[in-house]
């Protein structure tokens, strides 16, 4: 079975200039856990998930520093990177400011097994489906659970619509 048979299409997307409140509203009203951010040609620029929105509103934790010759040096580089990411998220105004520009994607002719495998990563909540570089749909965990329900239905039991 191919991804095009189970994907949600058309994809619910936002533009780079969509403000954060409207991104949150779009996700809530459509009961979705993330949205692709696309340009005017439906080219994928990035994705925003509900975790990005939550992280944007979480408290920012400043890293610990040591003082050396009147300069402050972070104790941990990883802690400093996390701080910079928290600041980026907290200061986001539009979708382009908050989106993750590295997003796992899938093609419409890919096998569903590839989508299942990608979704084993807890950070992947949706897969934008790209055809000729354009977003034509998304595969979500809900799409996969719907498919699993159909596959698991007893032979004498009609699948739910």
DSSP 60-79: P-PPPEEEETTEEEES-HHH
Other beta carbons within 10 angstroms of residue 27's beta carbon come to 19
pLDDT at residue number 134:
96
∠ Cα 122 50 96 (to 5°): 110
pTM: 0.78
pLDDT at residue number 89:
83
Relative orientation angle of helices 50-57 and 77-90, to the nearest 10 degrees: 100
User: Do residues 62 and 120 make contact, with C-beta atoms less than 8 angstroms apart?
Assistant: no
C-alpha distance from residue 140 to each of 12, 32, 75, 118 (Å) = 12, 9, 39, 11
pLDDT, averaged per 10 consecutive residues of the chain (161 residues), comes to 95 96 96 95 96 83 65 72 79 90 95 95 93 95 91 68 59
**Structural domains of the chain in order of their starting residue, each with its CATH number:** 3-152 (3.10.580.10)
């Amino acid at each position: 079975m191919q991804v095009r048979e189970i994907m949600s299409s058309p994809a619910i997307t936002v533009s780079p200039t969509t403000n954060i409140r409207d991104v949150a509203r779009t996700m809530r009203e459509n009961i979705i856990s993330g949205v692709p951010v696309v340009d005017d040609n439906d080219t994928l620029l990035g994705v925003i998930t509900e975790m990005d929105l939550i992280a944007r509103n979480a408290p920012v934790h400043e890293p610990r520093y040591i003082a050396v010759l009147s300069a402050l040096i972070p104790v941990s580089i990883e802690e400093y990177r996390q701080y910079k990411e928290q600041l980026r998220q907290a200061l986001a105004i539009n979708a382009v400011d908050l989106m993750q520009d590295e997003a796992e994607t899938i093609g419409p002719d890919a096998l569903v097994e590839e989508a299942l495998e990608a979704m084993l990563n807890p950070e992947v909540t949706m897969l934008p489906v790209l055809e000729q570089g354009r977003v034509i749909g998304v595969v979500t965990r809900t799409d996969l659970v719907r498919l699993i329900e159909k596959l698991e239905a007893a032979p004498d039991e009609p699948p739910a619509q």
